[in-house]
Structure 1
Amino acid sequence: MPTRFGYTLMTEQAGPKELVRYAVGAEEVGFDFEVSSDHYFPWLSAQGHAPYAWSVLGAVAHATERVDLMTYVTCPTIRYHPAVVAQKAATLQLLADGRFTLGLGAGENLNEHVVGEGWPAVGDRQAMLAEAIEIIRALHTGDLVDFRGDYFQVDAARIWDLPETVPLGVAVSGAQGIEEFGPLADHLIAVEPNPGLVDTWNATDGTGTIGIDSRAIGQIPMCWDRDRDAAVARAHDQFRWFSGGWDVNADLRTTAGFAAATQYVRPADVAESIPCGPDLDAVVDAVRPFWEAGFTDIALVQIGGESQAEFLETAAKPLLDKLRSAASGGGAQ
């Protein structure tokens, strides 16, 4: 299947009305799908936003017509009870006329600590996620559900407004995660272009082979700007947290913690890992490892809320043309 390219509704860097406007613009210039982060906090205070993703997606579902929509990703274990996630995912799928995929993950302390339930160890978080998926799947059958697990209880719950299906993707980072969650999910979600992830997924007893029944959905940041120095400065100001890696990022509790953990990250360090500036071919080269690793869907993160309108109006369409040409074997143009 042709590689699909998506646009990220980065709730950490724009307000709700702006996100809906950008979603419409992204559809108009030709993005295939749109993913939304689901945060209570921005990563860094400089980003400055954190609207409720599900309200934004509901509005986006009505404002758009073609693009697929997805959470990238929601944690259904602490801030949200899985029974509530099951209900709102079903409602959003109805609003989106079948264009929605529920993307799930084990979460970050940054967002989940706010309800005062603490931050479990990684093994417990993984077990909680598996149990939450079991509950969500059960409720999406339309049956009355009673559940007593190690982490969650559900008493006589039923989803009344139910779509035909809600596809489910799960974020994993290695073979152990795929072994545990591959059989539970429809699609693979990952942020590193590791071909071993796709190979391992295809070898599990999951719901299908990537490229046939399943999708492998990746994400990569970029910072387009006419001025490369301005792009590097913006990426450093708002996205240097990305350099910490998910083992670190999952456990930091506040924006102040991310600021302290990244205080010695230099602009040059960020520019080495994130394509910055007007060179669209550099973005293609950065994205290329994903489709070469077997990823079917790749979402772009354009860094900086104030840069979205110009990016969509000026750079997005030629960038999509270059990406599609390169991914189909035509090379960057």
Structure 2
Amino acid sequence: MSTPPIRFGYKASAEQFAPAQLLDFSVLAEEMGFDSVFVSDHLQPWVHDGGHAPASLPWLGALGQRTSRIIMGTSVLTPLFRYHPAVIAQAFATLGVLYPGRVVLGVGTGEALNEVTIGAEWPEMKERFARLKESIQYIEALWADERVDFEGQYYRAHAATIYDRPSADQRVPIYIGASGPAATRLAGRIADGYITTSGKDPSLYTDTLLPALHDGIERAGRSADDVDTLMEVKVSFDPDRHRALDDTRFWAPLALSAEEKREVDDPIQMQRLADALPIERAASRFIVSDDPDEHVDRIGQYLDLGFRHLVFHGPGHDQERFLRLYGNEILPRLRTRWGG
């Protein structure tokens, strides 16, 4: 098996932009040479004022019609409560038929922000993890077999059929998003790809997450090349360093600790917590730079760790500026040094 290529993608931040505007940015990303577009899936955004939350499923269908080359998917969607796994199986089967070889289903255990406000239960992580594992098995069964009987702990099906689904050689890959060892190990065992995010303590990747991923791969008797390793890299690049720093303000909620936001299910409350952060902490999850070579050096740490699919999240409101700067200044430097 040949080593998978290095890919560079664009994070379509659905929490920040209206659907049509976000679609235009993603089309421009393809024009500027990005290889993929991964979109957020939230019922509610991280901030109330100026926030957005378009539905990812119809949006991906529109993106497929407007583009011809990019890989597109969710980063990440939660097929546990708000979505029943059968709905996701049918939706992504349809996307896979419409755009064969271009669709990825990225899944995870979710955020209280998306579920609690509509009355969904929000159990402890142990149950959410078990539900995620079972939902993937459920989706895979519906894609693989003509008539499906499924009897799980949380989900059931009787003589169920997805009538329009990709052929076996057009199967939609499933990526698991995780920031802890258990779900990361699960990705290594059963998923086509692993998604995590940048800007955390380097030891989390080197001592916890990557060892867990490789442990899962080894336990399943797989090769490392069987699992795409996708890192969402939070970047703020601009020739004006003050602007690059200030652009991170909208995304200050990302700098909140897990403990600070664990039980927060209201965007107004989340925004209040984030607005209290100084700009230095708001920017702490981002690679902030005004020098393209220094910027590329800092991105390279994730490629050196072994991640082969970097999806860049630019925080500024002027996404056209970000995409053109990245397409002209950063992507060529990355490809010169690391290929792809």
State which of 86, 89, 92 in structure 2 corresponds to 1:86: 89
**Distance (whole Å) between structure 2 residues aligned to residue 272 and residue 171 of structure 1:** 21
Q: Write out aligned runs for 1:258-269 (5 A).
A: 258-269=270-281
Name whichever of 4-13 and 240-249 sits farther off. 240-249
Cα RMSD for the two superposed structures: 2.2
Q: Residue 223 of structure 2 aligns with which residue?
A: 209
Render the CA deviation track for 1:250-273: whole Å, top value 9, x for unaligned. 542111221233343111223344
Q: Write out aligned runs for 1:6-17 (5 A).
A: 6-17=9-20
State which of 172, 187, 190 in structure 2 corresponds to 1:184: 190
Render the CA deviation track for 1:144-169: whole Å, top value 9, x for unaligned. 22323222232332111111211111
CA contact (8 A) 2:94 2:165 kept: yes
| Distance apart, 1:19 and its partner CA | 1.7
Q: Residue 179 of structure 2 aligns with which residue?
A: 173
- The sequence identity of aligned pairs, in percent, is 33
Q: Write out aligned runs for 1:180-259 (5 A).
A: 180-192=186-198, 194-196=205-207, 197-204=209-216, 205-206=219-220, 208-210=222-224, 212-236=225-249, 238-246=250-258, 248-249=260-261, 251-259=263-271
Name whichever of 243-252 and 3-12 sits farther off. 243-252
State which of 41, 48, 55 in structure 1 corresponds to 2:58: 55
**Distance (whole Å) between structure 1 residues aligned to residue 302 and residue 271 of structure 2:** 29
**Distance (whole Å) between structure 2 residues aligned to residue 46 and residue 235 of structure 1:** 15
Instruction: Provide structure 1 residue ranges, at least 5 long, that are not aligned to the other structure.
Output: none
Render the CA deviation track for 1:48-98: whole Å, top value 9, x for unaligned. 211111111111111111111121011000110001011111111122222
Query: Would the alpha carbon gap of residues 309 and 127 (structure 1) be closer, same or farther in structure 2, given more than 3 Å must change?
Result: same
**Distance (whole Å) between structure 2 residues aligned to residue 142 and residue 250 of structure 1:** 38
**Distance (whole Å) between structure 2 residues aligned to residue 265 and residue 106 of structure 1:** 27
Q: Residue 151 of structure 2 aligns with which residue?
A: 148
**Distance (whole Å) between structure 2 residues aligned to residue 207 and residue 40 of structure 1:** 38
CA contact (8 A) 2:187 2:193 kept: no
Q: Residue 329 of structure 2 aligns with which residue?
A: 318
Aligned partner of residue 5 in structure 1, secondary structure:
strand
In the alignment, does 2:46 pair up with 1:28? Answer: no
**Distance (whole Å) between structure 1 residues aligned to residue 10 and residue 262 of structure 2:** 23
Look up the equivalent residue of 2:139 and give its one-letter code. I
Instruction: Provide structure 2 residue ranges, at least 5 long, that are not aligned to the other structure.
Output: none
Name whichever of 245-254 and 157-166 sits farther off. 245-254
Query: Would the alpha carbon gap of residues 261 and 154 (structure 1) be closer, same or farther in structure 2, given more than 3 Å must change?
Result: farther
Query: Would the alpha carbon gap of residues 49 and 266 (structure 1) be closer, same or farther in structure 2, given more than 3 Å must change?
Result: same
**Distance (whole Å) between structure 2 residues aligned to residue 92 and residue 191 of structure 1:** 25
CA contact (8 A) 2:196 2:231 kept: yes
Query: Would the alpha carbon gap of residues 181 and 259 (structure 1) be closer, same or farther in structure 2, given more than 3 Å must change?
Result: same
Q: Number of aligned pairs? A: 326
State which of 115, 130, 150 in structure 2 corresponds to 1:127: 130
Look up the equivalent residue of 1:219 and give its one-letter code. E
